[in-house]
Structure 1
Amino acid sequence: MTTGNARSALGRYGEDLAARRLTEAGMTVLERNWRGGRTGEIDIVARDGDALVFCEVKTRRGGGGFQHPMAAVTQVKADRLRGLAERWLHQHGGAPPGGVRIDVIGVLLPDRGAPVVQHVRGVA
């Protein structure tokens, strides 16, 4: 397996865990890996009551000395997510009555033990 494939598999696994966490929290996953042209993709689009939630998922393996997954969402990344969310809304009929929120889900896969999934609401 190449490094790119391993990273892709790690990301997919983290997104699966994130989608499960959202569903367990009562949210409905509407779409995964929505591509907004060349500007990137939205990992998960979900509905939380009457609000629409755009989720960025960051997955890291523990023990490698890497920063916490949440630290990977910089201001530039948050701005790009806002732009992607606007594009998604434009293509799908606009914002719902409950508004729009951007969340980040960090998934940390320790060397031993269960994955740690942290959901932070309204980051951008």
Structure 2
Amino acid sequence: MATDTAQLNGDPRRALGQYGERLAARYLRDCGLSILDRNWRCAHGEIDLVARDADCLVFCEVKTRRSERFGAPVEAVDRRKAARLRRLAAAWLQEHEVRPGRIRIDVIGILRPPQGPAVVRHLVGVGP
């Protein structure tokens, strides 16, 4: 893995998160989605990735971990977090004045063990 700004600044957790978001964006592009926005922020929080899948806008939360000692990465997104993502999606839509055909909340879990390749798990359409 190449050295990035977060690693140079001594924040390995942030570097891991950035690595996961880059991998997730590449994964979504490989699946045919187009990335519209990354790390969009407002007063209520942040959306990791916004993508388009045909007529559907996909708001994606990315969770990256080095092990499953505390559970799989996707397990970090509970119902409360999914509901928060829906509120953030509404704020993104309002700011960008977009009227999509459909909206979807996805979660991508990245398991990046110390050795071997990363494992990507994509949950499509999560939330309340």
Distance in structure 2 (CA, Å) of the matches to 1:95 and 1:106: 28
Helix, strand or coil at the partner of 1:44: strand
Query: Is the counterpart of residue 123 in structure 1 residue 126 in structure 2?
Result: yes
Distance in structure 2 (CA, Å) of the matches to 1:103 and 1:71: 13
Helix, strand or coil at the partner of 1:70: helix
Query: Is the counterpart of residue 82 in structure 1 residue 71 in structure 2?
Result: no
Which amino acid is the alignment partner of residue 31 of structure 2?
A
Alignment of 1:60-79 (within 5 A): 60-62=65-67, 65-79=69-83
Q: Once the two structures are superposed, what CA deviation does each residue of 1:14-42 show, in whole Å capped at 9, x if it has no partner?
A: 000000000000000000000021x2100
Q: Once the two structures are superposed, what CA deviation does each residue of 1:25-83 show, in whole Å capped at 9, x if it has no partner?
A: 0000000000021x2100000000111000000000026x2211011001111111010
> Quick check: 1:60–1:66 contact (8 Å CA) kept in 2?
no
Match of 1:45 in 2: 50
Provide structure 1 residue ranges, at least 5 long, that are not aligned to the other structure.
none
| C-alpha displacement of 1:12 | 0.2
Match of 1:100 in 2: 103
Which amino acid is the alignment partner of residue 45 of structure 1?
V
Aligned alpha-carbon RMSD (Å): 1.8
Using the aligned pairs only, state the percent identity: 56
Moved more, 85-94 or 14-23: 85-94
Q: Once the two structures are superposed, what CA deviation does each residue of 1:76-101 show, in whole Å capped at 9, x if it has no partner?
A: 1111101000000111113312x100
- Count of paired positions: 121
Distance in structure 1 (CA, Å) of the matches to 2:112 and 2:15: 13
TM-score normalised to structure 2 length: 0.88
Which amino acid is the alignment partner of residue 105 of structure 1?
I
